[in-house]
Structure 1
Amino acid sequence: MPRRTLLGAPALALGGALAGTGPSRAQGSSQGSAKGSGQAPTRLRMVLNWKYQGPQGWFFLAEDRGYFREAGLAMTIDQGEGSSAPVTQIAAGAYDVGFGDMNALIQFAATRPDVAPLAVFMMYNVPPFCIAVRADSPIRTPQDLVGRTIGGPANDGELKLFPAFAKAAGIDAAKVNIVTMQPSLREQMLFRGQIDGAFGYVNTIRFSARGAGIDDRQLRYIRYADHGIDLYSNTIMVSRALARDKPEAVRGLLAAINRGVAEALKDPAAAVAAVGRRDSLLDLAVERARFDATVADEMSAPELARIGLGDIDEARMARAIATVAESNNLPTRPAVGDVFSRAFLPPLAERPRKLVD
């Protein structure tokens, strides 16, 4: 295993449609199904993947336009600490819903299937994982990482996937020094030369650097996808208890998020403005650029035209599970149905199938 230093502060049988990954059954329109029911709203606590950013706009647009309320939900949406953190936070009962890394979920499910969250709506279907280096760095290939120091926040999904990347790229992960730091320190440590490379999502690093006045031309990226790591990334995940006990709440949640995505794609400025209402210090121009790049680079896999946003290609997911399991020496290999269910998805006709022209 890679050296690490801290800088700075068997699957549960769910049964029936819950565990199923087969075609979703006809449900009619999924919008506003709980409206007018007269029942008290279901309160759900949701944690994001990161601090407030433009690509989270669809969640806040759904909240501001009342889509969650129409679905009979009262939402609390908190900032996150990294894309892998929602997995353990949901498992511990701190949250009901999370937006986090599918691969961290797979790793957790291999050892704690009884409490592992369940992915229910795939959002990022193109892997955004990378190691960013300065453009003047001698690091150009994975082999150049040997003997170097690479850093990232402890809960970043790409840091946790580094053993898989190292194996695919043919390098010894133990010969790379891994350090962790607070998220706010990543880019400045890279440009001060305190680390040789930084783990992160391409667009997270690119636009965080841009917000700090660092030109894109000062960065270069070693992308995991260029070295055989064809994985899914961020997904909506829910607790197993919520999926089992309140399936209609999960359907309503996904219907509301799906509406938020559709509206955000029509009006990205409104989506970014919704995030800006949560953090007045955000540079909305930077966040709009981040939104556009995320949609184009991380959410527009060719499979989208066939299966729609939110669903997965089962064969691809099975290969991804195998990659994560083999590279991390997991004790068990979860089945696709152990970690993902399409039982709660809105009908295909309602889900986006083309995000960019």
Structure 2
Amino acid sequence: MKHTMISAVLGVMLSAVPAFAEMTDIRFTLGWKTQGSDAPFLVALNKGYFEEEGLNVTIDQGEGSAATITRIMGGAYDAGFGDINAIIQNAAARPGEAPVMVFQMWNRPPFAIAVSKESGITKPKDLEGLTLGGAQGTPTTRLFPVFARLNDIDIDTVAYESLAPNLQEPMLIRGDIDGAYTFTVSSWFNLIANRKDPAKDFTWLNYEDYGMDLYSNGMMVSRALLTENPDAVAGLVRAVTKATMEITKDQDVAVEAIVAFDNLVDPELERARLEFALTKLMNHSETAETGIGGLVEARLARSIDLIVEGYGLEATPAASEIFDGSFLPPVAERTLDVALN
């Protein structure tokens, strides 16, 4: 009897081995430290949506949206959350090697110049003769010459002060600089942390409002994963789509997943950051046609031209090299039935 029971147990264990062996390991990098805007990935992890797709996903914190691309291109990660504009830069320099965006999450860019309301600055032309500060290499900083051209700003009159990212909001508050090149979803909450009201105390000159209709962050995958395991890519996209649609209706689920991943975060702060991402970055009117995760190829092509100009790239990648929407579920499954406002 004992022998039979042991055999039965071993049989069950052995029969389970193939199921575990079929799981695909995916190394995933976030764009920065744990934030509310990461909720789609953390919900997919916390609620087992990745596992349902046969994926064993390990998520690590990031070092910046652009660093996501270098991490993936270097082979340390298979997928991640980062900026599509960084993909464009790398695709121009190393065609066929840069990651590919498969789920466009932020259809609106978080690039803006923040100025104090007390300054009286209300439009781009008002920036002439002032000093703007920000970190080198960020899209807002690097793309300012294009912003200036489109808005008839005499760029030679605008001084630039290079700053560490953690200094730009304090220096803006003190008046050490007249304006800051910001990544809104970060700077907005840095100002709150400095006991300022970003809506009442500051004016935001958003690039998208002044001729720079760019895309921004989303989920990208390595060329290797795309080529060697397209089923895994499809599983990633399905899981993230499911989680994204869920959090648009229920932010409590998102906060629970964020805290489960990193219990050092401020839950209410990250809830607010998630709401900012939902209402300021993910609510472009085009998603009524493209669905969450999709984009308009003609618009992407125009944004590629802006990036080529702004970064002085020697080649212009085709939109098909940057984004692959073939893994997305049908639009009907990605259409919001709640208002993001």
Whether 1:232 and 2:186 are equivalent positions in the alignment is no
Alignment partner of 1:151 out of 133, 137, 153: 133
Q: Distance in 2 between matches of 1:80 and 1:95?
A: 11
TM-score, normalisation: structure 2 = 0.86
AA in 1 matched with 2:242: R
- Against the structure 1 CA distance between its residues 215 and 322, is the aligned structure 2 distance closer, same or farther, given a 3 Å change threshold? same
Please name the residue that 2:204 is paired with.
221
Please name the residue that 1:282 is paired with.
265
Alignment partner of 1:269 out of 244, 252, 261: 252
Please name the residue that 1:114 is paired with.
96
Q: Distance in 2 between matches of 1:289 and 1:356?
A: 16
Structure 1 position 240, deviation (Å): 0.8
- Against the structure 1 CA distance between its residues 219 and 277, is the aligned structure 2 distance closer, same or farther, given a 3 Å change threshold? farther
Q: Distance in 2 between matches of 1:298 and 1:102?
A: 14
TM-score, normalisation: structure 1 = 0.82
SS in structure 2 at match of 1:136: helix
AA in 1 matched with 2:86: A
Structure 1 position 42, deviation (Å): 1.9
Please name the residue that 2:180 is paired with.
198
Structure 1 position 127, deviation (Å): 2.3
Please name the residue that 1:349 is paired with.
332
- What is the correspondence of 1:76-87 to structure 2 with a 5 Å cutoff? 76-87=58-69
Q: Distance in 2 between matches of 1:185 and 1:40?
A: 48
Assess if the C-alpha contact under 8 Å between 2:80 and 2:221 holds in 1: yes
Q: Distance in 2 between matches of 1:355 and 1:161?
A: 34
Larger radius of gyration: 2
Structure 1 position 101, deviation (Å): 1.3
SS in structure 2 at match of 1:266: coil
Q: Distance in 2 between matches of 1:293 and 1:277?
A: 21
Whether 1:52 and 2:34 are equivalent positions in the alignment is yes
AA in 1 matched with 2:51: R
Please name the residue that 2:142 is paired with.
160
- Say which structure is richer in helix: 2
Residue segments in structure 1 that go unaligned for 5+ positions in a row: 1-35
Residue identity over aligned pairs, in percent, reads 43
Q: Distance in 2 between matches of 1:177 and 1:93?
A: 39
Q: Distance in 2 between matches of 1:47 and 1:152?
A: 25
Please name the residue that 1:133 is paired with.
115
Structure 1 position 232, deviation (Å): 1.0
What whole-Å deviation, never above 9, does each CA across 1:268-327 have from its counterpart, x for those lacking one? 022023223344443322322222222122111111111211111111111111222234
Moved more, 320-329 or 330-339: 320-329
Moved more, 125-134 or 79-88: 79-88
Structure 1 position 234, deviation (Å): 0.9
Structure 1 position 154, deviation (Å): 4.0
